[in-house]
Amino acid sequence: MRKLQAALFVAVLTMVAIGLSSCGGSGGKEGGTLSGSYASFPELDPTISFSAEGWTAMYDTYLPLLTYKHAGGEEGTEVVPALAESLPEVSSDGKTYKLRLRKGLKYSDGTPVKASDFTASIERMFKLDSYGSSFFTDIVGAEEFAETKSGGISGIKADDKTGEITIELTRPRGTFVNELALLYAAVLPADTPAKNLTGNPPPATGPYEIATVERGRGWTYKRNPEWAKSNAARIPEVPSGHVDQIDISVVRNASTQVNEIERDKTNWMQTVVPADLYSKVKNRYEGTQFRVEHPINVYFFWMNTSRPPFDDVKVRQAVNYAVDPAALERIYSGALAASHQILPEGMPGHESFDLYPHNMAKAKELLAEANPSDREITVWTDNESPNNDAGAYYANLLEELGFDVNLKTINADVYFQTIGNPSTSNLDTGWADWFADYPHPNDFIEPNFAAESPFNLSHLEVPKLDEKIAGLAEEQLDAQVEGEYAQLDRELMEQAPWAPYGTNTVSTFVDSEIELDKVIFNPTMGQDLTSFQFK
Amino acid sequence: MESRSPWYLAYRRLRRNRVALSFGALFVAIALFALAAPLWASDVAHTTPNATHTTETVEVGGEQREVVDREGGPIGPLWLGAGGRFFLGADGHLGRDEMVRLMYGGRTSLFVGVTAALITVLLATLLGLLSGYYRGWVDGLIARVLDVVWAFPVTLLGAALGLALALGGLRIGPIVISGDSVWVPILIIGFVYAPYVTRPVRGEVLALREQEFVEAAVSQGAGPLRIMFGELLPNVLSTLIVFFAISVANSMLLESMLSFLGVGVQPPNTSWGTMIAEGFELITSSPLLTVLPGAMLLLTVLAVNVFADGLRDALDPRAKRRLEVHAGQTEPEGTAA
């Protein structure tokens, strides 16, 4: 009898525990309409959209063969299968990638997804001259197709019957798996017209479809009717989402967005909380409605190593010693996580170090040793706050070091075009930032430091390092390669072509109705719309 | 009966207008405030308008205070608490001295306003004289060109030109002006306002060229240049002086609008317009950063406008009378005693 009582007691306790865990653990409601605000209207065509806003908007709508894991932090940098059954099989020479499309997948309009749609989608990318096409030019025949826009890309073979897709590359490309997971490579129906479809987005493969678009003003999502019927069970890596509808409106003024969240009129703002309100919002809502997020980026001052005075490594090192992260943290209203290296935290291959801790005396000493004859320099920055302030701070710092500085503040819309144009005169030094296209260290190293890269603002040309960069670019990322990238980061900083000063954080700010703890911030794609849930 | 020159009579009329004189004095005070910028910067604030003090501290009543706190909040006005340093506080994340920037910003705003107004009036004078004197196809051509400029709203045209020239600068023959030069907004403002002054000048010249003194000059063999600049110009001078004063106020306003939009005065130069734009980012936490340059601009424009009004009344009392009649304030001309 006592045993029976004990068993009953345990059973009751277990049931209570299960009941409690179901209340607290999974928590939250299913369904409802999420309202969100954006500060600008992004392109809503996955093939051409290259902004962080656009990627957040379409992460759960258009699926590539592979995707980034629906998770935050380091876990979110992992590439997982989406429309493909598994990660690609890579040949031993690193030039052939084999994937297989999952069977029975459908677009939101009911059309079956075919392997040849992938070929058509990559071709559409080249037809539209998408920024993303630069990641796929190593596919055999892609460069010719980019020029002629006809005849197909011979390096992609797709079999609609078996779903097999084979991609041949002209050379090994260690980043290709990451690139296949970008939205540019999202699979769309083969007959999707080669024009910007923002106003009338193509059918979706993900859990949500874009239902209506009011250009410049907002858009709405509804559940993809084919997701539950055909795709959800076949793609377990992509969650189905909690809310039934998402209404996004464009509110240009970020302060208004904050105000609407505080008054529970909007559930979420995609925009970063503005500098003016940052500390107030952070202090009042951190942990309950506000969270600091860490996308993978680096902010830095570049120095042109091909012309005086920055052709002298001592001058560049002096500048690195002079830059004060404490000042820049203030300039970025406390939103900057200071660091003094190229690979930021969260990027595979990142190992913390600081070769140049702030030391003005050391900076002046190095500069006295170098004694550059040319002290007339132009400092470039854009006019967006607080980057303009960072540029003004840098100009003032260089003046303090004894340079005769001319500060050029350029409209942000054309800033990178201007400083990236070799014919622009007086490209001495300036501000810049670099955001990860995908979480692979080569995405930071090769474009910025390979001698022939058009993005190499510092014009660094060290043959030994160049060789190492090219060699690593062909390797598939593993622990050993990550270690080599960490070493390369250090070797590059010894050359001091940049004075990196930190990673800019962003924020997730939701109203009191949303479960903040459940909102996922993927470091590549931003907030995951499938993770939003009402309390 | 003692004869007095029209200029002397105008001076006497202006002297009697206490309101206009008060606002004229206010304008002079603002100009002196701006001109004293280097003195205040070097002897009181011990800084320059662009020197950053982001990580510095300042001693206030024996206590060290951060010029910019760790979350980027600037120190507020210290008045004379730190011996005049940061009298009006710091300007934002960079910790520049707001008072010093306000004074230097005033110099730029006034310089842009006065110089652009000069260009407007010079252009308008030239075009108005040519147009009104020659009439015919010259008048038609100038009028159509002005119509084209007039067809665009001033701010839109100014912003479009500002954006284009801020990137590429300006090249007029051998003269090259870099995109970040303060001369870019000056030339833009001077140009876009020219049609608004040219029209009234042309109208006045058209009326004047029918007067007997012009006929007398023609009969004495005077050429077009002498008639335009020797006979007609002195007679439109009073109008030009009034338009110049009004143009100063308008130019300062347009400069601040363009600078607010980022296409006017470019960093590191500062003006009240750029200060309003910079301060606007911290409008909720540090409203003074926007209010102060805004108030200075408001006071200056008000002072110039009221003084210009008084100047017009003094130089052309009939104009005031015409306006009053138009507004129904007095009886029509001729019925009064």
Q: How far is CA B1 from CA B4, B12, B13, in A?
A: 10, 17, 19
Q: What is the pLDDT of residues B209-258, one digit of tens each?
A: 999 999 999 999 999 999 999 999 999 999 999 999 999 999 999 999 99
- Nearest residue in B to A380, CA atom: B267
Taking an 8 Å cut-off on Cβ atoms, the answer to whether B262 and A386 are in contact is no
Note the pLDDT of residue B1: 54
Range 360-419 of A in CB contact (< 8 A) with B: 383, 385-386, 388-389, 392-393, 395-397, 407-411, 414, 418
Judge contact between A136 and A179, C-beta under 8 A. Answer: yes
Q: What is the pLDDT of residues B298-323, one digit of tens each?
A: 999 999 999 999 998 898 776 655 55
Judge contact between A252 and A240, C-beta under 8 A. Answer: no
Test the A interface: residue of B52, B270, B288 with most A CBs within 10 Å: B52
- Nearest residue in B to A414, CA atom: B167
Range 301-330 of A in CB contact (< 8 A) with B: 324, 326-327, 329-330
Contact B28/A at CB under 8 A = no
Contact B48/A at CB under 8 A = no
State the amino acid at position A363 in one-letter form: A
Q: With a cut of 80, say whether residue A18 has pLDDT above it.
A: no
Contact B295/A at CB under 8 A = no
Residues 6+ apart with CB under 8 A from A303: A310, A315, A316, A319, A428, A429, A458, A496, A497, A498, A499
Contact B235/A at CB under 8 A = no
For residues A23 and A70, the model is more confident at: A70
DSSP β-bridge partners for residue A36: A248, A268
Longest CA span, chain B: 83
Q: What is the pLDDT of residues B140-149, one digit of tens each?
A: 999 999 999 9
Contacts of A393 in chain B (CB under 8 A): 52, 54, 94
What are the tokens at B230?
Answer: 């020797």
Measured CA to CA, the distance from residue A356 to residue B150 in angstroms comes to: 58
Note the pLDDT of residue B168: 76
Q: What distance in Å separates residue B59's CA from the closest CA in chain A?
A: 19
Contacts of A255 in chain B (CB under 8 A): 284
Contacts of A505 in chain B (CB under 8 A): none
For residues A309 and B325, the model is more confident at: A309
Note the pLDDT of residue A1: 47
Note the pLDDT of residue B285: 87
Contact B72/A at CB under 8 A = yes
Judge contact between A227 and A239, C-beta under 8 A. Answer: no
Q: With a cut of 80, say whether residue B31 has pLDDT above it.
A: yes
Q: With a cut of 50, say whether residue B330 has pLDDT above it.
A: no
Question: Which of these, A477, A439, A454, A478, lies nearest to A182 by C-alpha position?
Answer: A439
Measured CA to CA, the distance from residue A122 to residue A156 in angstroms comes to: 9
Taking an 8 Å cut-off on Cβ atoms, the answer to whether A389 and B92 are in contact is yes
Contacts of B281 in chain A (CB under 8 A): 274-276, 385
Q: With a cut of 80, say whether residue B283 has pLDDT above it.
A: yes
- Nearest residue in B to A392, CA atom: B268
Q: With a cut of 50, say whether residue B337 has pLDDT above it.
A: no
pLDDT bracket for residue B56 (50, 70, 90) = very high
Contact B89/A at CB under 8 A = no
pLDDT bracket for residue A30 (50, 70, 90) = very high
Contacts of A274 in chain B (CB under 8 A): 281
Residues 6+ apart with CB under 8 A from B65: B57, B58, B59, B75
Q: What is the mean pLDDT of chain A?
A: 93
Test the B interface: residue of A252, A276, A417 with most B CBs within 10 Å: A276
Note the pLDDT of residue A16: 46
Contacts of A414 in chain B (CB under 8 A): 167
Range 246-275 of A in CB contact (< 8 A) with B: 255, 274-275
* Dihedral-angle region of residue B24 (phi above 0 means left; psi in -120 to 50 means alpha; beta otherwise): alpha
Output Rg (C-alpha) for chain B, integer angstroms: 24
Q: What is the pLDDT of residues B147-190, one digit of tens each?
A: 999 899 988 998 888 888 877 788 888 888 988 899 999 999 99
What are the tokens at B241?
Answer: 């002086």
What number is the ipTM of this complex?
Answer: 0.85
- Nearest residue in B to A383, CA atom: B262
- Nearest residue in B to A412, CA atom: B262
Contacts of B72 in chain A (CB under 8 A): 275, 278-279, 330-334, 386
- Counting DSSP H helices and E strands in chain A, the numbers are 16, 21
Residues 6+ apart with CB under 8 A from A333: A275, A278, A279, A386, B71, B72, B93
CA angle (B77 as vertex; B76, B78 as ends), nearest 5? 115
Measured CA to CA, the distance from residue B131 to residue B139 in angstroms comes to: 4
Three-class SS state of A105: coil
Contact B285/A at CB under 8 A = yes
Note the pLDDT of residue B267: 85
Contacts of A277 in chain B (CB under 8 A): 284-285
Note the pLDDT of residue B71: 87
- Nearest residue in A to B48, CA atom: A396
Taking an 8 Å cut-off on Cβ atoms, the answer to whether A385 and B281 are in contact is yes
Q: Lowest mean pLDDT: which of A42-51, A277-286, B4-13?
A: B4-13
Q: What distance in Å separates residue B297's CA from the closest CA in chain A?
A: 23
What are the tokens at A490?
Answer: 């250090």
Size of interface A-B (CB pairs under 8 A): 88
pLDDT bracket for residue B115 (50, 70, 90) = very high
Q: Lowest mean pLDDT: which of A291-295, A381-385, B18-22?
A: A381-385
Measured CA to CA, the distance from residue B75 to residue B204 in angstroms comes to: 55
Note the pLDDT of residue B270: 94
The whole-number average pLDDT for the span B46-67 is 95
Contact B171/A at CB under 8 A = no
